[in-house]
Amino acid sequence: MHSFALLPGLIAMTCSALVAAAPHGPGHEGHHDLSSRQSDSSAPCEFDSATAPNCWGRNFSLSTNWYEEAPDTGVIREYWFELVNSTLTPDGVPRLALTVNGSIPGPTIEADWGDTIVVHVHNGLANNGTSFHWHGIRQQGTADEDGVASITQCPVAPGESTTYTWKATQYGTTWYHSHFSLQAWNGVFGGILIRGPASAPYDEDQGVILLSDWLHETTDTLYNVASTSGPPTANNGLINGLNVYQGGGSRFKTGFESGKSYRLRLVNTAIDTMFKFGIDNHTLTVIAADLVPIVPFETEMISIGIGQRYDVIVKADQEPGNYWMRSIPQLTCSANEMTLNIKGIVTYDDLPVANPTTDAYEYIDNCADMPLESLVPAVSLDAGDATTQQVMDVGLSIVNSFFKWTLNTNSFLSDWGEPTLQKVLNPDAVFMDAENIITLNEANAWTYLIIESQLGLEHPFHLHGHDFFILAQVPMANFSDASQLNLSNPPRRDVAMLPASGFLAIAFQNDNPGVWLAHCHIGWHTSQGFALQLVERSSEIEAITDMDALQDTCAAWNTYQDRSGLVQEDSGV
């Protein structure tokens, strides 16, 4: 991350010094041109989404182990983001929002596997700091670009700017969001689309579809309610920033051509809602879970936890007409005024758009992940035996009338003005128990992390810096030495549901030096202390850290915080 002075007028722009970063134009969907980085006519395997989806030019394909190697295209995709205070009406109800370039969601970042992404961020907000996290991006060798306030950086102060630079060593679908307080759910989020090979063919890429819950008051206003009475009922949900409410607003709309197949890139960006997604009368072929391609499987509806992503292919094989696209909150773990009315419209063959008369598939309301046996990674990898095993027990306490989530009795707390990355590089720094640090210094050793809970509520658990292997995910059970763990090509992803009154056992290698947050992705819970952090291979961190940028951002933030009298009221993340 690098501080810089943003020139006036360089907002709402997407360009590159080396190559245009614009999406492919009409007629190019699903047929990616690799000529920008490959001129060898003998290349054996050119990508074509309909006929050769597993290919990706010379030397790379679906079978490439992207944890060990990835293309280096030399292409830079450059974006300019400005955060601004806005009043928007995503569902027809005006409310104060914090936005990227004035819209919800913000601009979609598009790139190819192996490109370098450069994002210039200017904080034009009136009285908020910010930081930008690139969810699911491993940041191999660029831990200081992870964008987590109080962990890898200080917040960017109002009026200040910074630049994030990272490489797309993975491919698929993900999203970016603010990682400062509850700011993401006031509107600071958007999609990331990284083109690469696929495990099944399709004709056209319909892009990212962001599923959100929506509140008619700001998350800052509602934080006290959430921390004393429980999460507030969401007023609505949005599909790519749109829905109706009490006669106002509009639906998200998209079109299909009969006979074609379409790739939809689904992302759950909610603060407190698990969704079931489906399109009436259509079958979903699931080809990726988070940023991991999987062996395709079919389903009528798919469960998507907070922070999770699924890439699905839909065949336009029904009678031409209008069909409901549904994003249904699961009432087992959340509440929403518009439970059965968060919908978009799919229209065939340029027919007039009209409200469909189709019926939803039957479903069971629950907050469980898709079955582990369905999520088979396309690149088969086994987990190794544990060198380190850490069991973390989830708890809930009340401190000064406020809910505090705990892991092994510690409620997470870090300091906006002194991030962990800065402290790790300071030999005189003093760490607190509340920082919930797990130190991992043996290179490439395997770590098992078991999160278990006696509480009857599911939690979406997210790890930064890694895809983890899901060794077990068991509801209504306690972890013990007798618990069965699957080490043979288990599902890999970066968000998985901790079952109610059960445990989640995950594994990863210590292969990525840095400071990495792990946390529940329910926004309220993160702010209330449900988090821990890994300090991984600490002796190697300084060499990959831009100390000048880190210190300059912190100096500007601490000056602002002292001058404004701002008090940190949450966990820091």
Tens digit of each residue's pLDDT (9 = 90 or more) over 235-247 = 999 999 999 999 9
Spatial contact of 200 and 117, defined as CB atoms under 8 Å apart: no
From residue 217, how far is each of 87, 393, 402 by CA, in Å?
A: 12, 33, 20
Q: How confident is the model at residue 37 (pLDDT cuts 50, 70, 90)?
A: very low
* Cα–Cα dist 418/164, whole Å: 19
Query: Is a pLDDT exceeding 70 seen at residue 211?
Result: yes
Residue 393: which of 472, 522, 503 has the closest Cα? 503
From residue 445, how far is each of 386, 448, 480, 496, 514 by CA, in Å?
A: 7, 10, 22, 22, 15
Average pLDDT for the chain: 92
Query: Is a pLDDT exceeding 80 seen at residue 1?
Result: no
* Cα–Cα dist 524/226, whole Å: 7
The position carrying tokens 């065949």 is: 315
Residue 559: DSSP 8-state: H
What pLDDT, on the 0 to 100 scale, is given for residue 38? 38
Residue 486: which of 474, 498, 500 has the closest Cα? 474
Query: Is a pLDDT exceeding 90 seen at residue 228?
Result: yes
Spatial contact of 349 and 316, defined as CB atoms under 8 Å apart: no
What pLDDT, on the 0 to 100 scale, is given for residue 22? 35
* Cα–Cα dist 105/107, whole Å: 7
Q: What is the mean pLDDT of residues 415-419?
A: 97
Query: Is a pLDDT exceeding 70 seen at residue 5?
Result: no
pTM given for the model: 0.92
> What is the separation of C-alpha 263 from the centre of its chain, rounded to a whole number of angstroms?
19
Instruction: Report the alpha-carbon angle 77-82-88, nearest 5.
Output: 120
The position carrying tokens 């909610």 is: 270
In the structure encoding, which two tokens stand for residue 285, read together?
A: 């072929």
In terms of C-beta density within 10 A (0-12 exposed, 13-18 middle, 19 or more buried), how is residue 388 classed?
A: middle
Name beta bridge partners: 244. Answer: 249
* Cα–Cα dist 42/177, whole Å: 41
Spatial contact of 117 and 108, defined as CB atoms under 8 Å apart: no
Spatial contact of 413 and 529, defined as CB atoms under 8 Å apart: yes
Q: What is the mean pLDDT of residues 362-377?
A: 98
Query: Is a pLDDT exceeding 80 seen at residue 386?
Result: yes
Phi, psi (rounded to 5 degrees) for 415: -110, 120
Q: What is the mean pLDDT of residues 268-285?
A: 98
In the structure encoding, which two tokens stand for residue 404, read together?
A: 């505090």
Residue 110: which of 207, 28, 236 has the closest Cα? 207
- Cβ within 8 Å of residue 132, ≥6 positions away: 81, 119, 121, 147, 164, 176, 177, 178, 179
Spatial contact of 528 and 571, defined as CB atoms under 8 Å apart: yes
Spatial contact of 302 and 264, defined as CB atoms under 8 Å apart: no
Query: Is a pLDDT exceeding 60 seen at residue 43?
Result: no
Torsion angle of the four alpha carbons 482, 488, 491, 493, in this order, in degrees rounded to the nearest 10: 90
Is the model more confident about 30 or about 564? 564
Spatial contact of 195 and 115, defined as CB atoms under 8 Å apart: no
Q: Strand (E) positions, 336-456?
A: 343-348, 388-399, 402-407, 437-440, 446-453
Q: Where are the alpha helices (DSSP H) in 175-281?
A: 219-228
Q: What is the mean pLDDT of residues 165-182?
A: 98
In terms of C-beta density within 10 A (0-12 exposed, 13-18 middle, 19 or more buried), how is residue 339 classed?
A: middle
- Cβ within 8 Å of residue 39, ≥6 positions away: none
Is the model more confident about 185 or about 482? 185
What pLDDT, on the 0 to 100 scale, is given for residue 42? 52
Residue 483 in 3-state DSSP?
A: coil
Q: Where are the alpha helices (DSSP H) in 189-333?
A: 219-228
Convert 151-163 to b/e letters by CB count within 10 Å (16 or more is b). Answer: bbbbbbbbebbbb
Query: Is a pLDDT exceeding 50 seen at residue 14?
Result: no
Share of the chain above pLDDT 70, in %: 92
What pLDDT, on the 0 to 100 scale, is given for residue 481? 86
Q: Strand (E) positions, 334-416?
A: 343-348, 388-399, 402-407
Q: Where are the alpha helices (DSSP H) in 62-198?
A: none
* Cα–Cα dist 149/417, whole Å: 9
Spatial contact of 270 and 352, defined as CB atoms under 8 Å apart: no
* Cα–Cα dist 516/467, whole Å: 12
From residue 218, how far is each of 94, 95, 96, 131, 225 by CA, in Å?
A: 11, 8, 7, 18, 12
Phi, psi (rounded to 5 degrees) for 190: -170, 175
Which helix (DSSP H) or strand (DSSP E) does residue 177 occupy?
A: strand 172-178
Name the residue type at position 313: I
Which helix (DSSP H) or strand (DSSP E) does residue 20 occupy?
A: none
In the structure encoding, which two tokens stand for residue 545, read together?
A: 């850290």
What pLDDT, on the 0 to 100 scale, is given for residue 520? 98
Instruction: Report the alpha-carbon angle 542-510-454, nearest 5.
Output: 115
What's the length of the chain? 573
In the structure encoding, which two tokens stand for residue 308, read together?
A: 């999770």
